[in-house]
A and B are shown apart, each in its own frame.
Chain A
Amino acid sequence: MAKYKCMVCGYIYDPAVGDPEHGQPAGTKFEDLPADWVCPECGVGKDQFERMN
């Protein structure tokens, strides 16, 4: 599962960790995060994330 980086603040979404604090359990793929999910650090939308190689 690919990690995604917030291009605004540098936060990395790791699907292995998820974002449990905001209802996204470990194992949630970035693609499966809801459309209104935002970066837990800086608050910008999913469109500001880029897939990491």
Chain B
Amino acid sequence: MSVLKILPDIYSVGVVDWDVRNFHGHTYTTKRGTSYNAYLIIDDKITLVDTVMGSFTAEFIENIKQIIAPEKIDYIIANHVETDHSGALPEMMRLCPKAKIFGTAKCREGLYKHYYGNWDFQEVKTGDKLKLGKKTLNFIEAAMIHWPDSMFTYCPEEQLLMPNDAFGQHYATSERFDDEVDQCALMDEAAKYYANILWPLSSVILKKIEEIQKMDLPIKMIAPSHGIIWRKDPAKIINAYISWAKNETKPKVAIVYETMWGSTGKMARKIAEGIIQAGISTRIFDVAVTDRTEIIREMLDTRGFLFGSSTHDNDMLPAMAGFLELVRGLRPKNRVASTFGSYGWTGGAAKEMEVVLKEAGIDIASGGPSFKYLPDEREMKACYEFGSDFAKIIKGG
């Protein structure tokens, strides 16, 4: 990524990772790559806000060198410990050993437990201000958005919010701003990020947005640590976050299934026919072959979930088991779910899936069809009718 002045004396100095396809281990697929954003403020005190993934350290330092000699940096703001933002910090501290790091108490602890560096670190709390010269930085603790150490940094003179991972997207682009990129791709990636990373933290997010709104901080620009910067319409992403955090849903159904010899798949498609005939939108996903990150993104604003699995070893199939474990951790609210599937002898998949859904606190609609071996005509009709009945529940809100 080339260096870009985003505001007077504030530069984007981060890097684009065009090639990354898996994130957080293999929990999140990044089909569009990502960027690790960092910002350099030139003032009486030269200040760097966040760094980048360690493997991009050389490119990052080259970017900084286009503006100033790195050793001139006085302050480094560490909004978040995670290595995709702190990875270049050890090298930065080697280059500018007198630089002082600012972050939360949890950030101090977390950075130490990652790098074991003996660095000058000043703990900050919500309400603390740091005068740089002409510009000021205000700090807002943001615990669990999305780690205990997370913090937002706000520059009142420029009405700029630098919230690190919040409002970010895994979206590699040569453009830097929201008005320069495809809106569908942008919102798709923003929703995917929320669904796969922030969804279980919704109540914390909603409270934090309310807190910031009460602080009466005008926000002209939001510069996150991944993806594009929101300058044209920062309210668009804030409002989207409020809606996602409230678990607001649309009347549609996600059918997620796994099948051994095709019967459960056949049932899934017949159930979908009943749903569509009742006027409700639906998507069918074979969980064994579909990208989980994409399914979760689709589920974010979907009111109805149907999970289907053949019975295997008296339980659900393994890809479904893994997927439901993921859903359980995401703690969706205001949803209705049911289960279906084919079995050979005693069955068990439907029951086991319901156990996980109950633990996840998801309401279960009864009547999900379970049939032996290949469903006959009467049983296929029952699938269709179940789809139709489930659609009515979803329509009713």
With A8-B201, A43-B106, A43-B148 as known contacts, state yes or no: A38 contacts B207, CB within 8 Å.
no
What residues of B have a CB within 8 angstroms of the CB of A47 in the complex?
Answer: 207
Bound CA span A15–B203, Å:
25
Q: Which of B199-242 contact A (CB under 8 A)?
A: 200-201, 203-204, 207
Give chain A nearest CB distance to B203 CB in angstroms: 6
Give chain B nearest CB distance to A3 CB in angstroms: 19
Give chain A nearest CB distance to B108 CB in angstroms: 13
What residues of A have a CB within 8 angstroms of the CB of B106 in the complex?
Answer: 43
B124 at the interface (CB under 8 A from A): no
Bound CA span A41–B201, Å:
15
Interface centre among B104, B141, B148, B207 (most CB of A within 10 A): B148
B276 at the interface (CB under 8 A from A): no
Please tell me if the beta carbons of B207 and A42 are within 8 angstroms of each other in the complex: no
- Closest residue on chain B to residue A8 by CB atoms: B144
Bound CA span A48–B104, Å:
20
A44 at the interface (CB under 8 A from B): yes
- Closest residue on chain A to residue B203 by CB atoms: A48
Q: In terms of DSSP, what is the predominant structure of the interface of chain A?
A: loop
Please tell me which one of the listed residues B104, B141, B144, B207 contacts residue A9 in the complex, with CB atoms under 8 A apart. Answer: B144
B143 at the interface (CB under 8 A from A): yes
A25 at the interface (CB under 8 A from B): no
Give chain B nearest CB distance to A12 CB in angstroms: 16
Q: In terms of DSSP, what is the predominant structure of the interface of chain B?
A: helix
In this complex, the interface size class of chain B, counting residues with CB under 8 Å from chain A, is: 10 to 19
Interface centre among B200, B201, B204 (most CB of A within 10 A): B204
Please tell me if the beta carbons of B141 and A43 are within 8 angstroms of each other in the complex: yes
- Closest residue on chain B to residue A7 by CB atoms: B203
What residues of A have a CB within 8 angstroms of the CB of B104 in the complex?
Answer: 43
Give chain B nearest CB distance to A30 CB in angstroms: 18
What residues of B have a CB within 8 angstroms of the CB of A27 in the complex?
Answer: none
Interface centre among A39, A43, A45, A47 (most CB of B within 10 A): A43
Bound CA span A45–B207, Å:
10
- Closest residue on chain B to residue A45 by CB atoms: B207
Interface centre among A7, A9, A41, A44 (most CB of B within 10 A): A44
Bound CA span A38–B201, Å:
16
What residues of B have a CB within 8 angstroms of the CB of A42 in the complex?
Answer: 143-144, 148
Over the window 176-205 of chain B, the binary record of Cβ atoms lying under 8 Å from chain A Cβ atoms (1 yes, 0 no) is: 000000000000000000000000110110
Please tell me if the beta carbons of A43 and B207 are within 8 angstroms of each other in the complex: no
Bound CA span A43–B145, Å:
10
- Closest residue on chain A to residue B106 by CB atoms: A43
With A42-B143, A43-B141, A43-B143 as known contacts, state yes or no: A48 contacts B204, CB within 8 Å.
yes
- Closest residue on chain B to residue A38 by CB atoms: B143
Over the window 111-143 of chain B, the binary record of Cβ atoms lying under 8 Å from chain A Cβ atoms (1 yes, 0 no) is: 000000000000000000000000000000101
Give chain A nearest CB distance to B22 CB in angstroms: 25
Q: Enumerate 12 A-B pairs (CB-CB under 8 Å) in ascending A order.
A: A8-B201, A8-B203, A39-B143, A41-B148, A42-B148, A43-B106, A43-B141, A43-B143, A43-B144, A44-B204, A48-B203, A48-B204
Q: Which residues of B are in contact with A by a Cβ distance under 8 Å? A: 104, 106, 141, 143-144, 148, 200-201, 203-204, 207
Beyond the given A7-B203, A38-B143, please list 13 additional residue pairs across the A-B interface where CB-CB is below 8 A: A8-B204, A9-B148, A41-B148, A42-B144, A42-B148, A43-B104, A43-B143, A43-B148, A44-B143, A44-B204, A45-B207, A47-B207, A48-B203
Shortest 7 CB-CB contacts between residues of A and residues of B: A43-B143, A42-B148, A43-B148, A42-B144, A44-B144, A8-B144, A44-B204
